[in-house]
Amino acid sequence: MTLPLISLATVRHHHLARHRLCEAPTGAGKGQDLHQMLQDLTFVQLDSINTVSRAHHMILHARRTNYRPKALDKLLADRLAFEHWTHDASIIDMENFGHWKLKFARDAVIVKARYKNWRRDGYEEKFNTVLKHISDHGPCCSSDVGKDEKKGSGGWWDWHPSKTALEYLWRAGKLSVTHRQGFRKFYDLTERVIPQQHLDAQFAVEETINHACTTALDNLGFATSGELAAFWDLVTPAEAKQWCAAELSVGRLIEVELETAQGKPRRSFARPNVLDVPLMEPTKRIRILSPFDPALRDRKRTERLFGFHYRIEVFVPEAKRQYGYYVFPVLEGDRLIGRIDMKADRARDKMAVRAFWPEVGVRMGSGRTKALTSAIARSTALASVTNLEFAPDWLR
């Protein structure tokens, strides 16, 4: 049977709309407006690199230029969101917490096996000590526990046993992150952090699988079963594949062919009415995106949708590095037009722009250059700097 063929422009349009990148970024960026944004995105990834601002702040600022970090802090303090693991550490809308009990149970097994190879021995013996310390003294960070333990010499990831115990108990759901200071996590007992109605929520495994796959498809528009499983990293590829087969058999899913930037169609699943949803035309505004933006984090999907091969240069050996140490993708309308190397020099109160590399076929005329400069200027408030500084050869 010949499957419906969906044009690349349509697929890209759906992708951007579902990631809230078609509309003008003009909301309040706080309170209910920010909460709705998080609900629509479902989660935002956390990352410690602070070249311009941390990843989660850049993600939200790209969609709401009025956004400032304190607004997300308030959302977390009001317990409208919680911090845990998807494919990476993320801030997740609180309505999902009940479904995370499946992840807690699975991570309790998976992470324990992983830590036997990655961490020093002795952390399991620290569980009760850590839990009692928090129960008696309230929220703590890793420096508050294991003070008599020898600190590792193996760098950032060489944790002392009590630090490993904290992280394990968080991954297993016994502890929750109550707040951060800078990027340092403070943990408390989960029952003292999560609102009671979400603590009490109980879901069968089948309900959580349905929730995970449904919300992933709602966010992606078109997806393979593997992409649905990877979206939350909450269910297994086999569970997502079985869910797709069941939904397909009763007509709640259809199979389609998607055009790609490489020319080879890709078979995916979609809802039968996916093309009936009216979409807003993408604004032409230029946006500087985080490398961890949910619209881009699947690098293979980004390449199929935009013909944009992207990896963070920080992980590329110097001899093979084509761009700067840490570069940001730049979106204009429905097109990724290049990547920019910029850094907030807070000591000098400047946003230092080192280079912009346009994609092949992108002309940097005066109008586009002015729009890009305006996008850079909008990032200064988020980065807590005032002035712009451009290297003489910044336009490459």
Domain containing residue 140: CATH number = 1.10.10
Any domain includes 367: yes
Q: Which residue has the tokens 């929520």?
A: 201
Any domain includes 236: no
**Buried (b) or exposed (e) across 110-124, using 16+ Cβ within 10 A?**
ebeeebeeebbeebe
Q: Are 97 and 201 in contact (CB under 8 A)?
A: yes
At which of 154, 174, 194 does a domain end? 194
Averaged over 263-286, what is the pLDDT? 93
pLDDT computed for residue 152 by the predictor: 55
pLDDT tens-digit series, residues 46-71: 998 899 999 999 999 999 999 999 99
**Total tally of structural domains belonging to the chain:** 2
pLDDT tens-digit series, residues 205-214: 999 999 999 9
Number of separate helices (H) and strands (E) present in the chain: 13, 13
Any domain includes 300: yes
* 156 has pLDDT over 50: no
Any domain includes 264: no
Any domain includes 187: yes
* 307 has pLDDT over 90: yes
pLDDT tens-digit series, residues 110-146: 988 887 765 556 678 888 999 999 999 999 998 888 7
Any domain includes 156: yes
| Domain membership of residue 327 as a residue range | 287-390
Percentage of residues of the chain with pLDDT beyond 90: 82
pLDDT computed for residue 118 by the predictor: 57
Percentage of residues of the chain with pLDDT beyond 70: 95
**How far is Cα 296 from Cα 294, in angstroms, rounded to an integer?**
5
pLDDT computed for residue 203 by the predictor: 98
Any domain includes 314: yes
Please name which of 311, 308, 295, 232 lies closest in space to residue 58, comparing C-alpha atoms.
Answer: 295
pLDDT computed for residue 155 by the predictor: 47
pLDDT computed for residue 48 by the predictor: 86
Averaged over 302-313, what is the pLDDT? 91
Any domain includes 157: yes
Q: Are 359 and 338 in contact (CB under 8 A)?
A: yes
Angstrom CA distances, 158 to 112, 120, 308, stand at: 16, 8, 35
Averaged over 372-385, what is the pLDDT? 97
Taking the model in full, what pTM does it have?
0.94
Other CB atoms within a 10 A radius of the CB of residue 63 amount to 24
